[in-house]
Structure 1
Amino acid sequence: MTDQTQTTIVGQLPTPTETASRVPRTLTRLVWLLWLASLVAFVAQFRSGEPWALPGLAVDGLTTVMWVTVTFFSGIVHSYSRRYMAGEWAVDQFFGRVFAFTLIVMVLVAADHLALFGIAWLAMGLVMAGLIGHANGWPQAEAAASLARRYFLGSSASLAVALLILWWDTGVTTVSGVASAVDSSPAVLAAAGALLLAAMIQSALVPFHTWLLSSMTAPTPASALMHAGFVNAGGILLTRFAPVVTVDAGVMLAVVLVGATSALLGKFLKTVRPDIKSKLGCSTVGQMGFMIVQAGLGFFSAAVTHLILHGFYKAYQFLASGSRVEHGSPTGTTGDGTGPLGLAVVALTALAGGALFATLTGKGEGSGLLLTLLVVLTVLQAARGVVVRADLPAAVRYGGVPLVALPALAVYAGIYRLIEGALAGLPAVGQHAALTPVHGLVAAAFVAAYLAVESGVYRHSTRLYVALLNASHPASDTLLTTTEEYDEY
């Protein structure tokens, strides 16, 4: 046991009653009202096609899309937390922070003044750090919050440098003004690099992923909000400042390379983590890498679509993480899946999925071929994961795979087209990067990584395993080291 003195908070959680604090219920209702208002704003703005100018704000397609997204995720987290956080001594503080985070993000995605954008970015990080360290008196939570706060301050400092450079070089103080004033000058290239660094830190890309993997001290609803909404801010930043990012082909290539590196390493890091939440954290590192790759290729609408769908998936995964813990022993229900029929089903489903994706989204040429390849590899992995399940009927293993994968890709294409239409008025979002030999090397790296993971060949290297384990290890002072501490905190 530790020498900390604190009232134990573990035990049967009471069901919320009318005599409990009204803050959770009030804020939950308010956030769902915000979601309904955001839906109305999205429809109205989509029909008008013109941004609404307000003092310091510009409500455009990206703004309303993100309003709908963040208020929906926040509403889910608020509703879930009313039961999950019942009995918590600081429940009002928790709900206040979650609601404040929601409002700050809504301001961020609408901010047109450079100073307001920077202030909202800083505030967003500080509130999230508070959620990570919500458990008062828990040394590990305080250490995790302190670590995250340092990273977020670094991200805010990098963003501040970028905004100051843009203001100094262009003489304008608004995001919309920057879009029409930038050119390919050394100052703008430096600003683009600072923007990329801020996005990398906030989205927990390698090597800045430690803060995310150390944040598991946060209450599970806060982790869901973090992985579903907070880490996606890097994609929003690059999309909002697309005219700066696309000003030079070298900058775009750098964005692709840093995103691809994180996507590949996130996939490998996930394979060595023993617990569910850490696996989800490593998965987020990889998925945010994919998002940045899409932005680097100039498919900003695809990046926004990816962050929204990833948010839905990851919010569900975290809120349902307790049910993912299995209490049992291996049953031997996994086959090898290498029979001729299995191989044919997997290969044909992946190829058909890639063709459908390219046809419906228009990414069948140029740099879009790289995204199509990534879709093929993703479908290959998902299809093989079902085909090897010997406990499933043959009709499900072989016939159900294409019947699920292909309609899912069609749904994705529909959402992508909707987002693409909403973002059509944003400057530079349609400037796709030209395909280069470096993109070919990135594609080869993804194929090699897929083969290495699926074949398990990388497991034969003890040195590689240790390197991956060290790279995915949270900060030591954020970890519980004795079983008794779980009951104390």
Structure 2
Amino acid sequence: MSLLAMLICVAPFCLAFALVIPSAWANHHADLMRRLCQASVAGVGAFLMLASLGLLFQSNITGSWSLTGSHGPLRISVYYDVISALMALLIGYIGWIISRFSGSYLDRDSRAGQFDKWLMVCLGAILGLVVSGNLIQLFVFWILTTFALHQLLMHNADRPWAVWTARKKFLISRLGDVFLGIAIYLVYQVWGTGELSELLAKFKEGAPALFDDSRVGVICILLVLSALTKSAQFPFHSWLPDTLETPTPVSALMHAGIINGGGFLLIRLSPLVSQSSAALALCTIIGGVTCLLGGIIMSTQSSIKRKLAYSTMSQMGFMMMQCGLGAFSIALIHIISHSLYKSHAFLRSGSAVTAPGLSHSPISWQKRLLTTGVGLVSASIIIVMVAFLMGVDGTPSMAEMLLGLVTLVALTHLISEAISSGSPRLALIGMTASTLIVAIYFLSHAALDGLTRDVLAHDSVGTSLSSQIVIGIVAIGFVSLGIIEIAKDHLANSRILQLLYVHAVNGFYFDIAARRLTALLWARSAPTP
């Protein structure tokens, strides 16, 4: 193992080492723990930034050290490529911001030292997950991440609802661990190794008999199921909007960092996952359902934090749908942009209490149709124009058409809302913002696709009839949601929408099964939130 690879491998352990610090001692020396946390996170982040410069001279930085002195499965390995570097830098930056914010947020808190301890462990575990060079090591950090998060969620242990939701999250995480553990076991059985450098090299070669084993499809589906539990996808999503009694820095870390673990797993193992059309279809349909479900529920919530939680659920659903469509580089862009936005949104959520409210004046049905039509035409022209200037040509696939449709629906809503305000200035801002958004989207995709072309290169399976049906269903769902959003002001007295609103406010009661399971194992009844 080279010196640089060894240092990259050691970096996460520098933070995770806080696990050995006694909590009582940490609370007694809260100021020291705060300084230690901020300095350690900043130092590790700065080192990873410098280490990433090494990728300018080589495609990846790898190394392995056997714990048994042989070529057995027990190794400490590092696999640092463009994907790892982008995720590590993202985690380091957000972790540094959160550690600084928590210093003032938890000032005079009796358990502030313990909080900083588990924050360091959690950040170290996430970084370890990202730079792990073999699947067993990745699995260990996968578990450590949820264990450290559980301790952070239990920070306010005197609040029954906080304890209850932390336990529910703990159970769902253990289910994901089972899925991932079985998948890793089968990987070793099929290919005889769990080293990412060896596995990805094999997948890139694409030998004819490499994926002939019937267990490959099972492995792919198990990986998708594990990712769904990690990223709060339907029906494993109910823990996410309930874990809001935790301190705000934990919410920011959870929604901007840990929730991305499932997406990272699929992106990292995309050459394998993409070999199963069933796994991709499952990822597409569940991601699409979660995206639509989260968007509908989010629009009915009055609490700013619950809105943000359901927004995260919806965004992660869209990211999973992108993975299911084989757009792994776009999914990586989504992870980075969503993390930066959501960490800022949660850390600034307290300002919503003092911010002036926005007035909303309903407009006539005819004007709404007119503004929607103008928005649709304008959005279409913007997308076609930017695509032409970017040199995009050829017939798009069904997956690309679905992503384009979602973009078209979102831009139509943005532009129509700006026009319906009646202000020429806001209309101009809306048009300009839409153009910039599409341009940034295309440019970032082109840049990242170029950087990760070799990393994410794989022979995708053909689009089957079942995949086309799934894409069609998801497309209908997004169009329907857009129509509901347009017509909601004029159908407010509709009996159907009123019933939909009541059920949506309560999350359509999908969390009942998770509550019953939690009650079965830990308590006889659930406390009131």
TM-score bracket, normalised by the shorter chain, equals 0.7 to 0.9
- Give 3-state SS (helix, strand or coil) of 1:436's partner: helix
1:425 corresponds, among 438, 454, 457, to: 454
Q: What's the offset of the Cα at 1:40?
A: 2.3
Match of residue 113, structure 2, among 89, 92, 96: 92
- Partner in structure 2 of residue 44 of structure 1: 54
Matches within 5 A, 1:242-281: 242-281=270-309
Residue 169 of structure 1, CA deviation: 1.7
Q: Give matches, 1:172-187, under 5 Å.
A: 172-179=193-200, 180=202, 182-187=210-215
Do the aligned partners of 2:301 and 2:505 also contact (CA within 8 Å) in 1? yes
1:31 aligns with 2:41: yes
What is the alpha-carbon distance in structure 2 between the residues aligned to residue 358 and residue 395 of structure 1? 27
- Kindly state the Cα deviation for residue 442 of structure 1 after the two structures are TM-superposed: 2.1
Q: C-alpha displacement at 1:184, in angstroms?
A: 4.2
State the alpha-carbon separation in 2 of the partners of residues 285 and 158 from structure 1: 21
Amino acid at match of 1:59: Y
After superposition, the Cα gap between the structure-2 partners of 1:329 and 1:217, relative to the gap in structure 1 and judged at 3 Å, is closer
Task: Quickly say closer, same or farther: Cα 1:229–1:159, change in 2 above 3 A.
Answer: same
Change (3 A) 1:316 1:352: farther
Range that drifts further, 224-233 or 464-473: 464-473
Identify which of 368, 372, 385 aligns with 2:417. 385
Higher RCO (C-alpha under 8 Å, 6+ residues apart): 1
- Work out the percentage of aligned pairs sharing the same amino acid: 23
The question of 1:365 aligning with 2:386 is answered: no
**148-157 vs 165-174, which deviates more?**
165-174
Corresponding residue for 2:68?
Answer: none
Distance 1:197 1:361 in 2: 37
Please report the TM-score for the alignment, with normalisation by the length of structure 1: 0.86
User: 2: CA distance between counterparts of 1:361 and 1:301?
Assistant: 18
The equivalent position to 1:227 in structure 2, one of 239, 249, 255, is 255
Distance 1:35 1:417, change over 3 A: farther
Residue correspondence of structure 1 range 86-165 to structure 2 within 5 A? 86-165=107-186
Distance 1:340 1:150, change over 3 A: closer
3-state secondary structure, aligned to 2:433: helix
Structure 1 residue 82 corresponds to structure 2 residue 103: yes
Aligned mates of 1:61, 1:400 — CA distance in 2: 35
TM-superposed CA distance for 1:413, in Å, is 2.9
CA distance in 1, matches of 2:526, 2:301: 16
CA deviations 1:399-454 (Å, max 9, x no partner) are 11111221133223333333323322225457486473432332122111211232
Letter paired with 1:28: Q
Q: Contact 1:258–1:289 at 8 Å: present in 2 too? A: yes
Counterpart contact for 1:345–1:398, Cα < 8 Å: no
Q: Do the aligned partners of 1:252 and 1:433 also contact (CA within 8 Å) in 2?
A: no
Contact 1:299–1:430 (CA under 8 A) maintained in structure 2: no
Is 1:469 the counterpart of 2:511? The answer is no
Query: For the aligned residues, what is the CA RMSD?
Result: 2.7
TM-score (norm 2): 0.80
SS state at 1:53 partner = strand
CA contact (8 A) 1:262 1:289 kept: yes
CA contact (8 A) 2:162 2:246 kept: yes
Alignment length (residue pairs): 460
2:78 to 46, 57, 66: 57
SS of the residue corresponding to residue 57 of structure 1 reads: strand
What whole-Å deviation, never above 9, does each CA across 1:23-65 have from its counterpart, x for those lacking one? 2123213222322222223333145323433441111111111
* Range with greater deviation from structure 2 (150-159 or 416-425): 416-425
Give the letter for the 1:187 counterpart. Answer: R
Equivalent-residue separation in structure 2 for 1:88 and 1:336 (angstroms)? 52
Query: In 2, Cα distance between the equivalents of 1:21 and 1:186?
Result: 56
1:265-286, Cα deviation, whole Å (9 max, x unpaired): 1111112222111111111111
